[in-house]
Amino acid sequence: MSKKADLLSDINEEDQENQTLVFKVFGYGSLLWKVNFNYSSRDHGHIKGFQRKFWQNNKTHRGTEGKPGRVAIIHKAEEKTLSGVMFTIKGASDIEDAKQILDTRETVLGGYISIQTTFYDEYGVQSEVTVFTATPDNDLYVGQICDHPHDDVEHIATQVVGAQGRAGTNAEYVIKLADYVRTHFPNEDDEHLFLLEKKVTEKLSNRSRTVQINYEQLNGINHHDI
């Protein structure tokens, strides 16, 4: 075999090896709409035995040290399914980049750990995926504070509307997540998420009305003084 043929053979073998390197990660929070790594494909589907909960504080992306925000984690719940997106990353270089980005985004700044579970796409095809979540072992974990779930969501909503981080407001995070789930997974029964969205939008609306009333009162006083 010629040197040129040997070289082409080595290149083909390396290319085939890279194509067999696959990393699959499941997104259920901001990864649904904000992906900052290269991927080969994205597939809608679900995982089983989990539900989404806003039980994790965040002091970087959606909050600060003084006013932490709330972000989603997955919580074990039998007979529940959780919809989301599986991102497939191929090739050693893209996989390494994605893992570094996710480690910083989710683990270092978010306090999450990674676990493995099974993803089911829209046709029932199964894949093993990595998913990031939080446990009570990290300082940012809050869990359920109030005894009644609705009271807990009310408490979370109050925290959300007052928080903002380097990625934007915490309210934007909640509303964008709810909108994505409602649009792409219309059969998703995520009471926690949709109730939180409702409470957050109500509080934002009330805050806006209060500002408007104060503005009108101030204008009235100034006009009277003039």
> Does residue 65 lie within any of the structural domains?
yes
> Does residue 11 lie within any of the structural domains?
no
Q: Which two tokens stand for residue 194?
A: 């949709």
> Does residue 117 lie within any of the structural domains?
yes
> Does residue 10 lie within any of the structural domains?
no
Q: Rounded distance, CA 222 to CA 22, Å? A: 66
Question: Which is it for strands 22-27 and 126-133: parallel, antiparallel or unpaired?
Answer: parallel
Q: According to the model, what pLDDT value does residue 97 have?
A: 98
> Does residue 6 lie within any of the structural domains?
no
Closest CA to 111 of 127, 93, 134, 130: 134
Q: Which two tokens stand for residue 8?
A: 């082409």
Q: Rounded distance, CA 45 to CA 51, Å? A: 14
Q: Residue 97 in 3-state DSSP? A: helix
Residue 177 structural domain = 18-225
Mean pLDDT by 10 residues, the chain (226 residues): 43 48 98 96 98 98 97 96 98 97 96 98 97 96 95 98 97 98 96 98 83 48 50
Q: Which residue has the tokens 């972000």?
A: 71
Q: According to the model, what pLDDT value does residue 217 have?
A: 47
Total structural domains in the chain?
1
Instruction: State the catalytic residue, choosing from 65, 79, 96, 106.
Output: 106
> Does residue 2 lie within any of the structural domains?
no
Q: According to the model, what pLDDT value does residue 207 have?
A: 80
> Does residue 82 lie within any of the structural domains?
yes
Q: Give residue-wise pLDDT tens across range 3-20.
A: 444 433 443 444 455 556
130: domain CATH number is 3.10.490.10
Does residue 13 have an active-site annotation? no
Q: Which residue has the tokens 């050693």?
A: 92
Residue 40's Cβ-side half-sphere holds a number of Cα atoms within 13 Å equal to 16
Following DSSP, what letter does each residue of 12-29 receive, concatenated? HHHHHHHHH-EEEEEE-S
